[in-house]
């Protein structure tokens, strides 16, 4: 069999056409925070390990990372893989305080997001930081509605105390504000 015929018989898949066919960008509410690409994983691959059972968030700190991730999604592959390219890459963000930021959905029918940025000393307290903190410092929670985000933020404030936390609420008219 010729190489051309063997390659023709071998089926290639691209994540952008299968696993990540439905996705949307959430713009950063402040220049120092990441954009978030939220992938709506198809039901055949969705499950308990995903936010709301179906969403996979990706923190993108730079435009170069966004391009790199899109190229990763477009690569031809013999099999589907998890879109975990950046999950364990160390963040360039350095913060002294705990920061929580709300990301409102860019279009209807997408969820609300709450990003947590944690100082490294907090992240290092976790038993397995790589499993809890994306890129070493981020946590992300996904909510079906704005009430869920607000309730979670109030609970965090009550748990951590106002002196340890900075809550980011962009001014009216900015992305991420409703």
pLDDT in tens, the chain (178 residues): 445 444 445 567 899 999 999 999 999 988 889 999 999 999 999 998 899 999 999 999 999 999 999 999 999 999 888 899 998 899 998 888 888 899 999 999 999 999 999 888 887 887 765 678 899 999 999 999 999 998 988 888 788 766 655 555 554 444 444 4
Pairwise CA distance, residues 15 & 31, whole Å: 29
Q: Give the count of beta carbons closer than 10 Å to the beta carbon of residue 147.
A: 10
> Which pair of tokens denotes residue 154?
């109030």
pLDDT of residue 63: 95
8 Å CB contact between 175 and 109: no
Pairwise CA distance, residues 130 & 86, whole Å: 12
8 Å CB contact between 20 and 92: no
Pairwise CA distance, residues 159 & 152, whole Å: 10
Find the radius of gyration of the CA atoms of the chain: 18
pLDDT of residue 107: 95
End-to-end Cα spacing for the chain? 60
8 Å CB contact between 58 and 16: no
pLDDT of residue 176: 43
- Alpha helical stretches, state H, 117-161: 120-123, 129-132, 146-160
Beta-strand pair 35-40/55-60: antiparallel
pLDDT of residue 168: 55
8 Å CB contact between 12 and 79: no
């Amino acid at each position: 069999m010729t190489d051309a015929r063997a390659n023709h018989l071998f089926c290639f898949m691209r994540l952008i056409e299968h696993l990540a066919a439905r996705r949307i960008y959430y713009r950063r509410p402040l220049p120092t925070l990441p954009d978030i690409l939220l992938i709506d994983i198809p039901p055949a691959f969705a499950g308990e390990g995903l936010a709301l059972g179906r969403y996979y968030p990706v923190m993108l700190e730079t435009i170069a990372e966004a391009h790199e991730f899109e190229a990763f999604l477009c690569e031809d592959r013999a099999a589907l893989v998890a879109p975990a390219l950046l999950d364990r890459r160390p963040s360039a963000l350095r913060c002294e305080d705990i920061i929580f930021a709300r990301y409102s959905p860019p279009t209807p029918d997408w969820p609300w997001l709450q990003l947590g940025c944690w100082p490294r000393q907090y992240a290092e307290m976790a038993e397995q930081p790589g499993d809890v903190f994306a890129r070493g410092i981020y946590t992300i929670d996904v909510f079906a509605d704005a009430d869920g985000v607000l309730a979670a933020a109030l609970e965090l404030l009550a748990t951590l105390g106002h002196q340890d936390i900075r809550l980011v609420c962009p001014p009216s008219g900015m992305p991420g504000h409703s």
